[in-house]
Amino acid sequence: MEYVCKQLLDESDAYEVLLHNMPIRDGKQTIGEIDFIVNEIATRKLIHVELTYKFYLIDTAIENPIHQLIGPNVSDAFYKKLEKIKNNQFSLIHTKIGSAALLDKGIDATQVKQQVCYKAQLFQPYKNASLDISPINSHCIVGYWLGMAEFNTPEFVDYKFYIPNKSEWVFHPFEEVLWVSHDAVIEIIEERLENNSSPMVWIKKSDIEFEKCFVVWW
């Protein structure tokens, strides 16, 4: 995603990339990394941009809305990432080591604004009505999540399935993959679930209708 973002910025007339993917080291130890520092052409302002792309399930059983976005395997969460960006990634350029590294590149850290480019694909509970997730962009909802008991029902039996590798998660499902039957995909999913891993599954309902979901182990 950083590579794609870098290409877009390079082609933009609005920004000039000054730094990209720059490690900050204390001796031989890498203590952090700066995703981008760009010059906003119109204002001549310097902006430190941290890029994040995540996949979250919306767990409506959690009361606090800010805590409802969780990773497929529960270990990740939206609010945890926000805290990490605020307390670690944003503070990095203001440390003695970080500010010195920027100064070596001719950049004064005190003159740099900071912004987050936070992209995500969200999956709502299966058969859930449209959710109000404001102020988060509802267009980020691209699919649903469900448990094995719901997935292993007659409703899904006649469809075809594909389990994408993680580099394919970002894509909308497409035709040119090796689709398998419901019985075949059940075996693969059960093995993943036994290892506490929630696979993404692409569903081919017809030649023109596709869905994506997560089958969760928890």
27 in a structural domain? yes
Q: What is the pLDDT of residues 12-23, one digit of tens each?
A: 999 999 999 999
| Number of domains comprising the chain | 2
Give the structural domain span for 9: 2-120
pTM of the full predicted structure? 0.92
Q: Please give the pLDDT value at position 49.
A: 98
127 in a structural domain: no
168 with 82, same domain: the answer is: no
- Sequence-separated contacts (24+) of 64-71 with Cβ below 8 Å: 65/133, 68/133, 69/120, 69/122, 69/136
pLDDT of residue 173: 98
Q: What is the pLDDT of residue 170?
A: 97
For residue 135, what pLDDT is reported? 84
Query: Residue 208: inside a domain, yes or no?
Result: yes
Task: Specify the residue for token string 């580099």.
Answer: 167
Whether residues 111 and 200 fall in one domain: no
Kindly report the average pLDDT of the chain as a whole number.
96
Whether 7 has a pLDDT exceeding 80, the answer reads: yes
Report pLDDT digits (tens) over 135-186: 889 999 999 999 999 999 999 999 999 999 999 999 999 999 999 999 999 9
Q: Which residues have CB under 8 Å from 192's CB, separation 6+?
A: 163, 198, 199, 215, 217
Say if residue 99 is in the same domain as residue 202.
no
Interval 15-40 mean pLDDT = 96
128 pLDDT higher than 90: no
Q: How confident is the model at residue 63 (pLDDT cuts 50, 70, 90)?
A: confident
In this structure, which long-range contacts are made by residues 185-192, counting pairs with CB atoms below 8 Å and at least 24 apart in sequence?
185/161, 186/151, 186/152, 188/163, 189/148, 189/151, 189/163, 189/215, 190/148, 192/163, 192/217
Neighbours of 160 (CB within 10 A): 18
CA distances to 56, 90, 143, 199 from 61, in Å: 14, 31, 18, 21
- Helix ranges, 68-147 (H): 78-84, 96-104
| Per-residue pLDDT at 129 exceeds 80 | no
Q: What is the mean pLDDT of residues 188-199?
A: 97
- List 123's β-bridge partners, or say none: 57, 143
Residue 129 placed within a domain:
no
- Domain assignment present for 11: yes
